[in-house]
Amino acid sequence: MNSEILTLTEFAAKLKNLREAGLRVVFTNGCFDILHVGHVRYLTAARSKGDILVVGLNSDQSVRQIKGEKRPVVPENQRAEVLAGLRCVDYVILFDEADPLKLIQSICPDVLVKGADWTEESIIGASFVKAGGGRVERIAVVPETSTTLIIKKIIETCNN
């Protein structure tokens, strides 16, 4: 299957068929500003938790709300295309809100995945997914890999 970048409405039309086929839908979300090995390992592990991986991608507007006016570095259409190019990602859905709760409630994933740096209690949508019979999975993060660290290293390199 080739990955697709869809609106929530477009994905909702496909979701019915995925459910009828008995496929387990895994959902995760993030900014994925400068894709790095930590992201790839995380998304690959997330995909292993079910049959279909849906990635909620923070829009540029949403990233600015969370990370500040200087982010994202990479525009949303490019970030979406890079994610969709990964073998482990089936669908990418952009969202404008600061958090993915509305998206999670619309999709009702079987599995909600976040990094292990989040406690289960702090994972947005965890109680909703569990109340619907789904589960929450936390994936170990790769130490010392983050977009923020990459940006910092680039700035330090340029200043030397």
Q: Could you tell me the pLDDT band of residue 105, with boundaries at 50, 70 and 90?
A: very high
pLDDT in tens, 8-36: 999 999 999 999 999 999 999 999 998 99
Q: What is the CATH number that goes with domain 4-159? A: 3.40.50.620
Instruction: Tell me the three state secondary structure of residue 52.
Output: strand
Backbone angles phi, psi at 26, to 5 degrees: -105, 135
* pLDDT-above-90 percentage for the chain: 84
Half-sphere exposure of 15 toward its Cβ, with a 13 Å CA cutoff? 20
Where are the chain's structural domains? 4-159
Interval 94-110 mean pLDDT: 97
pTM: 0.91
Give the per-residue pLDDT at 154: 85
pLDDT at 1 over 50: no
Cβ-count burial of 58 within 10 angstroms (0-12 exposed, 13-18 middle, 19+ buried)?
buried
Q: What is the reported pLDDT for 80? A: 97
The mean predicted confidence, pLDDT, of the chain is 94
| Whole-number pLDDT of residue 73 | 92
The model's pLDDT over 107-132, given as tens digits with 9 standing for 90+, comes to: 999 999 999 999 999 999 999 999 99
